Structure 1
């Protein structure tokens, strides 16, 4: 890549960017690159665990029969899984324990399979399964281990549609130590099984991941390094570092990842640039830098800071979200009526977010 506004995987980190913190941790100043702003159209009721880093990752199910009645899922990583209406009110909550990241796939016949990384056992990665009804009700399914003891804690998580007969879906568990485990899911939505697994190497702690189903590419965020891409069509995919977190477009930690699709392979990969409370976008499939944006205060809803998980879904979601929807975890939603610190999820019009990214 030779464009001057492209983040190069091999680019050196400018010494002026790094500041030494008293505890030895790298502290990054705000990115020097222009950053647009957008406001949220809605926000969810905070997750139930207060005074803690609790809300983490969202997923969106688009109701094909009535898009305005689509459902947002969000994890409380200390307690379980929520489903929300698009106005942010709670539909259901399953007290399923230590769930970190969540994703879903729609199966033939209309069944929605939901799964999340389960952190109950810090040594053995596992997936917690659910099904989602069209009214937003969740039904808890089994918890299945996807690695032997010592494989590492299940941390990040994303899913992709099945690529062969006899499969329900493919799941990707990003262990806290780095390696990614692909689990091919079989059986039924109510009684899933693990058909096979394979592992991909990541050097250090990673979390955010997303599969671009159009190209069968897996993107994984290595928190202090950048974004890796794996070609899932290969028998033994080797990761390629396609965007370095060097404090310009992308400021560590690299957290949630989401695809905003356009056409057969275009659109954007959006990443949570947690180190400066922003979101960076890269054009697909080249991964050329495309823009940055922040969610700021406005319309009676506060902006977002220290975002972990994000999600983007294309299409109409009714009059409130006529052209896509973007959801971001907010690490500081302010105090509740009792003075307890809270976290929640912010919902942004997809068209507004993309316009702000492009500086329009």
Structure 2
């Protein structure tokens, strides 16, 4: 079993264990599973769904029991995000967006509808994401509408205003932002309209996420080998109250996850997912986090991490209760 990498100067990390895991992706012996997204079933939280990428093959839908509910052959889709309450072909629904790199010279935003009753995905079409290889993606809303922020492999971030209300979705690039080197993970805080992006060997940045906002980045944290160990990969947000909460980053270089406070960008702490009844998680790419009731197994929220070393099986995703992270780090 892989052992967590110990970096000499890295700060201590608390330990948590997973309460669940997904069925491994279908691509064996490869770096395949990558990024999860969460849909919370407000009427029956235990029936919530997870969408995850096999970046060699397509998109999976899982239940909270980890069992596969659907698979859609979408080719090389790398990261994924979703929003509910989006008008899709005239009716409100759950829109799933994935960074499509089937053509590495021209990024696309691949769009899908998720049916919560059947857990099935339906492909809606693709919109242009700009010149370059698609890598990360996250969704955000502001007064201009729904935006897909597509992070290209070279650190370019294109904001694509997406309209799925008609029979065929459309999109247009309304802004371009830039980081200096390879970047991937991102997340948007719709309360404050801040976009968080991880530049893998440099650190965590934030941008104004509004379509009319400035495009210059502000560095939150450096990949200094102490709190954040490169590669900095997945990014997720735990919003608390009107403006506070945490942004979480995968510190892939030492198999840890780092929390920073949203209100002032301050460092909060680190944790690892270690082996228990279920195996731990190592070399994590994508992560996702959502607070709220997800049933008896995850009453305060759920954190999901891609596991780059799932013992002898293909890669999968590990499910951790937010309450366990709160307890391990002594969060208020």
Q: Same fold (TM over 0.5)?
A: yes
The correspondence for 2:317, drawn from 332, 336, 345, is: 345
CA contact (8 A) 2:55 2:77 kept: yes
Q: Kindly state the Cα deviation for residue 280 of structure 1 after the two structures are TM-superposed.
A: 0.5
CA contact (8 A) 1:28 1:247 kept: no
Residue in structure 1 matched with residue 295 of structure 2 by the alignment: 318
**Aligned partners of 1:190 and 1:294: how far apart in 2?**
44
Q: Kindly state the Cα deviation for residue 29 of structure 1 after the two structures are TM-superposed.
A: 2.2
Residue in structure 1 matched with residue 128 of structure 2 by the alignment: 145
Q: Residue 155 in 1 paired to residue 135 in 2?
A: yes
> Residue 41 and residue 189 in structure 1: after superposition, are their counterparts in 2 closer, same or farther (change >3 A)?
farther
Give the secondary structure class of the aligned counterpart of 2:106.
Answer: coil
The correspondence for 1:121, drawn from 87, 94, 103, is: 103
CA contact (8 A) 1:261 1:267 kept: yes
Residue in structure 2 matched with residue 4 of structure 1 by the alignment: none
Residue in structure 2 matched with residue 53 of structure 1 by the alignment: 31
**Aligned partners of 1:64 and 1:72: how far apart in 2?**
14
TM-score (norm 1): 0.86
Q: Residue 267 in 1 paired to residue 245 in 2?
A: yes
> Residue 347 and residue 295 in structure 1: after superposition, are their counterparts in 2 closer, same or farther (change >3 A)?
same
Between Structure 1 and Structure 2, which shows a larger proportion of strand residues?
2
> Residue 303 and residue 216 in structure 1: after superposition, are their counterparts in 2 closer, same or farther (change >3 A)?
same
Q: Kindly state the Cα deviation for residue 144 of structure 1 after the two structures are TM-superposed.
A: 1.8
TM-score (norm 2): 0.93
1:27-66, aligned counterparts within 5 Å? 29=7, 31-66=9-44
CA contact (8 A) 2:126 2:169 kept: no
Residue in structure 2 matched with residue 208 of structure 1 by the alignment: 185
Structure 1 residues without counterparts, runs of 5 or longer? 1-26, 337-341
Runs of at least 4 residues of structure 1 off by over 4 A? none
**Aligned partners of 1:285 and 1:47: how far apart in 2?**
37
Computed over aligned residues only, the root mean square deviation of the Cα atoms, in angstroms, reads 1.7
Q: Kindly state the Cα deviation for residue 43 of structure 1 after the two structures are TM-superposed.
A: 0.2
Give the secondary structure class of the aligned counterpart of 2:325.
Answer: helix
Q: Kindly state the Cα deviation for residue 357 of structure 1 after the two structures are TM-superposed.
A: 2.9
Q: Kindly state the Cα deviation for residue 116 of structure 1 after the two structures are TM-superposed.
A: 0.2
Give the secondary structure class of the aligned counterpart of 2:41.
Answer: coil
Q: Residue 132 in 1 paired to residue 104 in 2?
A: no
Residues 293-322 of structure 1 show CA distances to partners (whole Å, capped at 9, x for unaligned) of 0000112x1000000000000100111110
Q: Which has the larger radius of gyration?
A: 1
Aligned length: 322
